[in-house]
Amino acid sequence: MNARKHKVFGVGLGRTGTASLQLALKQLGYKTAHFLPYRDLLNEYDRGTRSFMGSGTFAFIDRYDAISNGTGLPFQALERRYTDSRFILTLRDPDRWLASQQRYRAALAKRDMQRGDNSEGASRFINENIYGAATFEASAWIQAFEEHKSAVLKHFRESPEKLLTFDVAAGDSWGQLCSFLGHQTVEGEFPHSNDQRTAEQEFALPERLRKTAERLGIGLQPFLLADMGHGDISAPTATPFPSRDGIWWGNPESDAAALREIRSHWTKEPEFLVFTWATLWYLDEYDAFATFVHDTCDEVYSGPDCRVFRPVRRAKTT
């Protein structure tokens, strides 16, 4: 029997295994968000702590059992606010982390340019305020990586029982995670997301998603793709969700906005609605939106990296 669940916060920076941690925590039964909705919280950023702090930040966090990505997460304040919480510092070889960040930031910059984001765009804001430079600079990025690691370790030096350092690429797995959180050890392979990709593969379709897409016929007909612009499924028939002029337009600002968006697309009769690992939280966060999806679709596939729905009932658009 599992122990009572603690609130769990990943405090590692992006590209250190935070997506894998999200999948693992969801498998353990935690309602888990990958990261904060940065675009909606820019006015709550505190430069002194390099984190987002404010009513919107804490309201978002309160809705979840766990957050897996620590970029901009106010871990000092969270320890005070949730006194029984647990923290996981995901780590990665610094050189591999730096190479992954370089590829990822280049892709984000290209997307933001296509979308017409200005200098206040969320990705640029994170670059400047978390990593110390508006565009990728190896020296600034690695300094931010080491400073963040040191700050976390120093903060929890007097309460080591609250912190787990966790390196997925180095072999850390279910044993360490379950022991730390008080769960029975899970049998089987630890989930991996975005691992061991080359530069060309970084934003290409993961093999498991490709096989699922081929088996279901996804890509042969128009379909909606909710993947937060990661490009995990690349097909000319895909329409990003949400989108403007064919470009992913950011997470829905509210349940009502998500519902309006999906209704507007339903009139075009997409063959599928696909949620990848990056947006599975939509179905937890947006209640009316999720109800609409379940009321108008059959779920034809559900896995740790994606869920696929096929519209089968005509939806009212008013």
Among residues 245, 211, 201, 209, the alpha carbon closest in space to that of 227 is found at: 209
Its domain, for residue 259, covers 207-311
Token duo for residue 140: 């600034």
The CATH number of residue 177's host domain is: 3.40.50.300
Average pLDDT over all residues of the chain: 85
Using alpha carbons, list the distances in angstroms from residue 71 to 160, 306, 312: 21, 23, 39
Pair 16, 155 in one domain = yes
In a domain, 61, yes or no: yes
pLDDT at residue 204, rounded to an integer? 42
Pair 168, 233 in one domain = no
Among residues 79, 81, 121, 72, the alpha carbon closest in space to that of 250 is found at: 121
Q: Mean pLDDT, to the nearest integer, of 48-54?
A: 93
Pair 95, 161 in one domain = yes
> Is it the case that residue 205 has pLDDT exceeding 60?
no
Query: What confidence tens digit (pLDDT) does each residue in 116-167 have?
Result: 654 346 778 888 999 999 889 999 999 999 999 999 999 999 999 999 999 9
